[in-house]
Structure 1
């Protein structure tokens, strides 16, 4: 029986879910919510103010106590819209990871939407297969169309309950004019995706997360709806808020005091979604992003990693020579196995990154042979890579660009500091693997023996093979010069 934990660093609240996996059955055993209001601390220059950082670190410290006995492979922690928008946030992320005791990933908006849909799909068993899922967060709103467990259209919009409340109701006053202005702003955000969503259609609209659950609770308590959200009930709630006039005068049974301060903005967004998408009724899901993270982890445990499917789809789309990519991958893993201990590349994440880069290293040939390493890096960095965090995507793009030609000093500086050394070493292994397979020979390439120091490698080859491949020998000599700018040495090639 294995325990898994998911941590969602949302723009309004931080959430943690702990589940127990027993013979393929998942059982939620604990939930913790901390109203951090991170988005409220996002300044005009993109920095996070000190009070919001302090609230975040205190909350993560409490989460960390609960996760003290969890291994790295049992926990996924992700940051969403506010941390995507925050500038110069690396020092805070380091402190946050230290407080939690686990690494924190920043995920793209489309990946957030995919995970939300995955979580909702597992929480609404028996619902019609074609669904519209809406999740109003603190800093963004996700709208997803899906069939069964697969999201087929995902949209992450830059509007959330914290930002909209701050923009339109900052002094606590609620009026018809302010509500209409907020709804108009939300409608403008929806405009670019409205036609695409309505064209695909859906059998049932489902809402997720705090704002939508709060609306459903209020409508139920008031007798304006029964377990769902209706357009009629939403209009009555909107009028009740305008009649109250101010945030502090809101007396709505079912509204949590922690949510009161961001509720008007969330309601305006939901009302606009009902209006623009012509929704009459919305069901409410008990699950969302953090449950999606848990189910995604279960998929990885059972070798159903969505990242592998993404790489396969890219390989097919760009007509990559699969047999050659597989040979480069096999060589790369053979080299990695020899240096994993010396170079501290024992994490599954290291092997995954090397595999994905080996599979995609020739993706740029779809653009042009000349500079194909640069074209390939751009394609990887700019594509929607389902399942990948922002740093994972950047790492693979960096490896793809670095698989050939000279490397400049500072090449790895764009990566987070904690990834730079691993990236340099993985790049060396990928370059050697590509070099050894340059002939594209379907016969297996003999893997040289490696002896690794911190920034150097000694390679030992089979004498007959190397003498029969003079081009490889010449390439290895050039490679010695190519690696010098990044402070790495190939110390020579012994024969046996």
Structure 2
């Protein structure tokens, strides 16, 4: 990845939402992301989840066909300037990996399934970059499968939550036949209030100056209210206007009967559920009015990507925060990072490793000891668990899975099936990074600032590695023993580690 983006270079994001898929293409203009093209299709992936939480074949084909059309618009965008993120539907889908494998044959980059709070963070980033930054704001985004609520100031979120309620999911549960009734609406409203109850006190105590809504549901509701003359002078979505919209909704018996000026046909089926969720948000959080922002997840993804090019990568801030939270030894982490970078540079070209692989190894090296905060015994497993199951800003679920495997296998004996497990998750690249991290930790077992012997790692081929150590081996007897023990672990991965050194006695 290059260190910067010059003006006029393109960025792109694909947002695979539970209701709609979106593509946004933008150019960089004086550090700002200016959208130049966009596409949106109602895929309704969440509607394709069966009773066992598996995506049906029809839903998968809708998604794949949409992605293929999106790819046709990406000819001018370099792959490293594209991010593809998936949200609640793929978080829920038990067979999501099948869809991702099929999509990999179409897409130039892997799909990143992001956690709910990471989705919330990126939504806030998109909204905050498309609105005037003044005071504290509450951002509400009602998606197809989940609803994100974020309190933040300027570009920094303070509280992020993702709740299991969305217009597609609630349509399936409460309005599946398309019939509209006060009873069905009330059931949806109660369910939404229940979801909101867990965060209501925290959010109201934190407080906000303005409320901003994003997403198709809020856009549709606001547009109807404005067209009906029910909004205020700022064309906000008000509580009074929402009451009138609800009352008007009850005049219809079925979604096919609804006549709202400005309502798009593809939004019709999910509108009652969307109104119920929005009504509950206004009710529980005691909101009077809400502004609308076109900024959303895809814009946030592009601004986050731009930050990575400009050395403002939130992932590095997250790594430092994790080290602080779990009281990791920063000096030891830095020693391991420096050694890992040297070994990586030795072998990157031969093993076809990229700068993204270097970033992953570096972050794993910084985090390899966080499990010590729980227990010294098996701390690598504790660290792996924390990385697998924590909400970590900037990281996709795949990123966290890769980090977790690196930390889990950085020490102790490798199980006979370790190679299979690692390869299944991240292929040969992840296996090679794991071995580089093991060597880096091993070479710094002394936890000393004294100079290590000069080392060089050479890869003759994927199965033949050679570590050269300069100097008298008698000066580092424990290191010698550790390296010979490590040769056995490399064999479990079908790699022969040869050790060369002056006076190095086996």
Same fold (TM over 0.5): yes
- Number of aligned residue pairs: 493
For 1:271-350, list aligned pairs within 5 A: 271-346=279-354, 348-350=355-357
Residue 202 (structure 1) aligned with residue 215 (structure 2):
no
Structure 1 position 494, deviation (Å): 4.3
Work out whether residues 406 and 483 of structure 1, in 8 Å CA contact, stay in contact via their aligned partners in 2.
no
Residue 449 (structure 1) aligned with residue 456 (structure 2):
yes
Q: Which residue of 2 aligns with 1:147?
A: 153
Structure 1 position 69, deviation (Å): 3.6
RMSD over aligned Cα, in angstroms?
A: 1.5
Q: Which residue of 2 aligns with 1:96?
A: 103
Q: Which residue of 2 aligns with 1:391?
A: 398
2:273 to 265, 280, 283: 265
- Partner Cα separation in structure 2 for residue 481 and residue 429 of structure 1: 15
- Partner Cα separation in structure 1 for residue 423 and residue 490 of structure 2: 21
Work out whether residues 469 and 499 of structure 2, in 8 Å CA contact, stay in contact via their aligned partners in 1.
no
For 1:67-466, list aligned pairs within 5 A: 67-126=74-133, 128-226=134-232, 227-346=235-354, 348-411=355-418, 417=424, 419-452=426-459, 453-464=461-472, 466=473
The worse-fitting range, judged by mean Cα deviation, of 405-414 and 379-388 is: 405-414
- Partner Cα separation in structure 1 for residue 39 and residue 224 of structure 2: 22
TM-score by length of 1: 0.96
Structure 1 position 98, deviation (Å): 2.3
- CA-to-aligned-CA distance 1:179-205 (integer Å, 9 cap, x gap): 111101111111111111111111111
Q: Which residue of 1 aligns with 2:70?
A: 63
Structure 1 position 42, deviation (Å): 0.6
Q: Residues 350 and 70 of structure 1: is their aligned pair in 2 closer, same or farther, counting only changes over 3 Å? A: same
Structure 1 position 412, deviation (Å): 5.5
- Partner Cα separation in structure 1 for residue 63 and residue 387 of structure 2: 32
Q: Which residue of 2 aligns with 1:486?
A: 493
Three-state SS of the structure 2 residue aligned to 1:100 is: coil
- Partner Cα separation in structure 2 for residue 374 and residue 57 of structure 1: 37
- Partner Cα separation in structure 2 for residue 415 and residue 80 of structure 1: 25
Structure 1 position 50, deviation (Å): 1.3
Gaps of 5+ in 1: none
Work out whether residues 448 and 461 of structure 1, in 8 Å CA contact, stay in contact via their aligned partners in 2.
yes
Structure 1 position 92, deviation (Å): 1.1
Three-state SS of the structure 1 residue aligned to 2:35 is: strand
Q: Residues 414 and 477 of structure 1: is their aligned pair in 2 closer, same or farther, counting only changes over 3 Å? A: closer
Work out whether residues 145 and 154 of structure 1, in 8 Å CA contact, stay in contact via their aligned partners in 2.
yes
- Partner Cα separation in structure 2 for residue 32 and residue 26 of structure 1: 17
Q: Residues 312 and 237 of structure 1: is their aligned pair in 2 closer, same or farther, counting only changes over 3 Å? A: same
- Partner Cα separation in structure 2 for residue 444 and residue 134 of structure 1: 54
Structure 1 position 251, deviation (Å): 0.8
The worse-fitting range, judged by mean Cα deviation, of 378-387 and 210-219 is: 378-387
Three-state SS of the structure 2 residue aligned to 1:373 is: helix
Work out whether residues 161 and 262 of structure 1, in 8 Å CA contact, stay in contact via their aligned partners in 2.
yes
Residue 7 (structure 1) aligned with residue 3 (structure 2):
no
The worse-fitting range, judged by mean Cα deviation, of 397-406 and 20-29 is: 20-29
Work out whether residues 334 and 447 of structure 1, in 8 Å CA contact, stay in contact via their aligned partners in 2.
no
- Partner Cα separation in structure 1 for residue 89 and residue 68 of structure 2: 19
- Partner Cα separation in structure 2 for residue 95 and residue 236 of structure 1: 45
Structure 1 position 415, deviation (Å): 5.9
- Partner Cα separation in structure 2 for residue 338 and residue 168 of structure 1: 59
- Partner Cα separation in structure 1 for residue 423 and residue 269 of structure 2: 35
TM-score by length of 2: 0.95
- Partner Cα separation in structure 1 for residue 34 and residue 46 of structure 2: 31
